[in-house]
Amino acid sequence: MPIKVIVIGSGPGGYPAALRLKELGAEVTIVEAWELGGTCLNRGCIPSKAFLDTGHRVHAFDGLRKLLKDGSGVNFSPEMLDWDKVKARRAEVVSKLRTSLEKLFQAKKIEVLRGKAAFSGPNEVTVTGPQGAVKKTFDYAILAAGTRPSFPPPFRDFQAELTDSDRVFDLPRLPKSLLIVGGGVIGLEFACFFNAVGVEVNVLEILPEILAGEDPQVIRAVRSSFEKRGVKFHLGKKTACIDISGGLKTVELEDGTRLEAEEILVGAGRSADLTGMGLEALGLAWDRKGVKADAGLRTSIPNIFAVGDVNGVSLLAHSAARQGEIAAENIMGANRVFDADIVPRCVYAWPEVGSVGLNKAQAEAKGLTVRTARSFYLGIGKAVATDETDGFAQLVFDAADETVLGAQLVGGPATELIHLLALAVKLKLKRKDLKEIIYAHPTMAEAIHEALYK
């Protein structure tokens, strides 16, 4: 008899796990309470990139004016943008990918049960949905239920009146002004898009800087670029009170500053909500950070695994996918572990950001003596020719043997180029190994090559 596995959640952690399990001979059932593809496909990674693509087209359109004859009268204004068409394009992108995922499950003969899963025992779940209450037994279960937008106080008291990273895609109209709460990846990507399409954007961050944990050089470059385009940052500021009674929503900060906007988008991270899943009855503890799992993605209950955002290890879709595959392989007898040190971290705004491994401060905190090498796009032929000179490539080496410890890229196709350096970190390549690669000319990747000679 094949091993029976229940996968709870069909997002970027759940569906790769299900596919790998099926490939290895397991009998697999996916349980999904919402839409196939999870947050990433329906309310996160993919729709936000559709929005950003729209913003980038507007940004490029605006740059075209430099090459037109005087008086051509080509200007973009927010009134020209058809918000309904922008939303429809996003919905079409999501629908195509969701349909493709449905067909893949059908082709692989993976059962999909719609509804909310609740454990009724260590080897049984009850799925309550359109089909009623269905009981399913299993040998193993994988929790891949994801997270929900987090509302810190005092914004928590106004959730219905504010928007978040799930609901922003369905705003009835494009606002003239927007206050974004949170200066992390979520907040910055939406700030980039809305600024590009002509919305007045303010970003409020309780920490002293944006992109917490990133290299200071990266932070400085990104913030400077955003500020040049008109995004205003309010850093290290706590919110005293909120007023939504007037025509504009108002946030008053503890220092007395008042910020007004038509809409407030809370993008202050995400948290787990596993209420009603019966985990407590199993003795499986959880909090807003999720369920604890070891490096092999096992929870404290031997036959239950937790992958993706729900374990709080690395809240990224590609981390979830790899974790799902590892959990699947371990269920089928392997003993693999997830290495969070080689996960690329990406910001898909412009300038793009791609980071992997350790930055200088993180390496020094581990007691390592390091060297950094940096080159700027201002000196790269492809960057100058395409007018993409914002940013740099920075590599971090162990000073003792020049092993690559990490890298930070800002600008250009940073989110694509970072994979070369992720491979270098994983394989513990040295500076000389990267030097021996032949970098095509002219390319943005030559920024990496140039940095190796600094």
Which residues have a catalytic role annotated? 441
Name, in order, each residue with C-beta under 8 angstroms of 364's C-beta and a sequence gap of 6 or more. 370
Q: Are 352 and 415 in contact (CB under 8 A)?
A: yes
> Hey, how many other C-beta atoms are within 10 angstroms of the C-beta on 283?
9
The Cα–Cα gap between 273 and 9 comes to: 13
Query: Token pair of 246, please?
Result: 């007037």
Q: Are 226 and 233 in contact (CB under 8 A)?
A: yes
The angle that helices 83-107 and 14-23 make with each other, rounded to 10 degrees, is 20
